[in-house]
Structure 1
Amino acid sequence: MPPMKTVAMVLFPDFLMLDMAGPLEVFSVANRYLKPDLHYQLTTLGTERGLLRASNGVQVQADLHIDEAAERYDLLLVPGGPGAYNQRFPELFGWLKKAVPRAERYGSICTGAFILGHACLLDGYRVTTHWNYTERLIKAFPKTTVTTDQIYVEDRNLITSGGVTAGIDLALAVVARDHGKKIAQDVAKVLLVVMKRQGGQAQFSPLMAAVSPQETPITR
């Protein structure tokens, strides 16, 4: 498969910082192990000109406004965050409808799936999102098959991930497909993450919250 060189991350108000930073860091570290002509070229695209405030309050300056975006990107990603499921961005939805057909692959991290869903880009696909929002995604987009117990899901040219740090798993999977498992393992070692998690995201479900917070011999 030809190397994937251009990766664009679309940013909007109230996006989740880690959804952006995690995957982009994977591609950035991968460049350390790749020949220069195989490097990932990373770009952030903003729905607004100027600074965009993430959900943690940090402000980010996107490289380009979506109106200035390149004609085509090899991978087009959308992060999650409160803005993804609580707000509507008609301009972004319209832009995505035009940009995604030109991309080799596209995807979402965490609740970014809601952005793709509102742009009618999930219909007929199998996807996932943060475990806490799967029911909401199912109700919002009935033409989509939502998987609830996987860290990430690949369906044809669409790749979606579970919550937050699962975006790192998604990016590692992309690197492994593009450049082989060895490169992806090297990146995982640098980031101190496992190449393949044991179990799906359901292990982080509300059942885990039922564990007593008090220190006891059993919890120790």
Structure 2
Amino acid sequence: MQENHTQRTVAMVLFDDVLMLDVTGPMDAFAIANRFLPEDQHYRLVTVAEGQGTIRGSCGLKVMADLRLEQLPARIDLLLVPGGPGAYHVALPAIERWLPAAVDRARRFGAICTGAFVLGRSGLLDGYRCTTHWNYVERLAQAFPEAKVESDQIYVIDRCLITSGGITAGIDLALAVVAEDHGKALALEVAKVLL
């Protein structure tokens, strides 16, 4: 399949014990934006995971990723890592080894909620301003002293890195991306649909 170069590919990383709201909230915001955009400007939404197995979210919901990690398209506009117990309770060695090279292929990258811990363990927060869920801000700052962790932020954009606070703040992160890509008026229309 030939990729349309005006389309923006958003890739979401999946893993066991992911918080499904961190995945579906932002993905739905981009999908709703597509309703308002010409087809050649649609966001192309893909999910990637280690291996070919089914992922079980922290709520018990099972999902199958579109692609394995090594199948990530060559050009990514935004690579996102969601949070959940699978992001902050355990290491994800294969994903954490894969992420630095994957981020090099992305125009922007980021984390929703506690997905910031996965970026931190991959060495991708050092020297950046970032945030996470309010309950984990201090833990993130202690774990990654080279990161500039900010509290009380819905989302933080620092150069090519975008991170969000608590769970539903992932939707705000997606709306900020839509506003940057297509203007505030479209982001407002998407926000109205999501109310």
Indicate the TM-score class for this superposition, using the shorter chain for normalisation.
over 0.9
Contact 2:6 2:40 in 1 (8 A): no
Q: Over residues 54-92 of structure 1, what are the superposed CA-to-partner deviations in whole Å (9 max), with x where a residue is unaligned?
A: 000000100011122212311000000001001111111
| Percent identity (aligned) | 61
Q: Following TM superposition, by how much is the alpha carbon of 1:3 offset from its aligned partner in structure 2, in angstroms? A: 5.8
1:180 aligns with 2:183: yes
Q: Secondary structure at the match of 2:185?
A: helix
Amino acid at match of 1:113: A
Q: Over residues 16-56 of structure 1, what are the superposed CA-to-partner deviations in whole Å (9 max), with x where a residue is unaligned?
A: 00000000000000000000110000000012312100000
- Tell me the equivalent position of 1:191: 194
Runs of 4+ in structure 1 displaced over 6 angstroms?
none
- Tell me the equivalent position of 1:158: 161
- Tell me the equivalent position of 2:90: 87
> Matched residues in 2 for 1:14 and 1:78: separation?
13
Q: Following TM superposition, by how much is the alpha carbon of 1:165 offset from its aligned partner in structure 2, in angstroms? A: 0.3
Unaligned runs of 5+ in 1: 193-220
> Matched residues in 2 for 1:67 and 1:12: separation?
15
- Tell me the equivalent position of 1:203: none
- Tell me the equivalent position of 1:35: 38
Q: Following TM superposition, by how much is the alpha carbon of 1:4 offset from its aligned partner in structure 2, in angstroms? A: 5.9
> Matched residues in 1 for 2:51 and 2:154: separation?
30
- Tell me the equivalent position of 2:151: 148
- Tell me the equivalent position of 2:170: 167
Contact 2:13 2:47 in 1 (8 A): yes
> Matched residues in 1 for 2:86 and 2:95: separation?
12
Unaligned runs of 5+ in 2: none
> Matched residues in 2 for 1:50 and 1:166: separation?
28
1:116 aligns with 2:116: no
Amino acid at match of 1:162: G
Sort the Cα spacing of 1:85 and 1:63 in 2 relative to 1 into closer, same or farther, 3 A: same
Amino acid at match of 1:57: G
Q: Work out which of the residue numbers 81, 98, 102 in structure 2 matches 1:99.
A: 102
> Matched residues in 2 for 1:28 and 1:116: separation?
25
Q: Secondary structure at the match of 1:106?
A: strand
- Tell me the equivalent position of 1:58: 61
Contact 2:54 2:64 in 1 (8 A): yes
Q: Secondary structure at the match of 2:76?
A: coil
Q: Work out which of the residue numbers 130, 136, 139 in structure 2 matches 1:136.
A: 139
Contact 1:3 1:178 in 2 (8 A): no
* Superposition CA RMSD, Å: 1.1
Contact 1:3 1:179 in 2 (8 A): no
1:13 aligns with 2:29: no
Which one has the largest radius of gyration?
1
Sort the Cα spacing of 1:59 and 1:129 in 2 relative to 1 into closer, same or farther, 3 A: same
- Tell me the equivalent position of 1:207: none
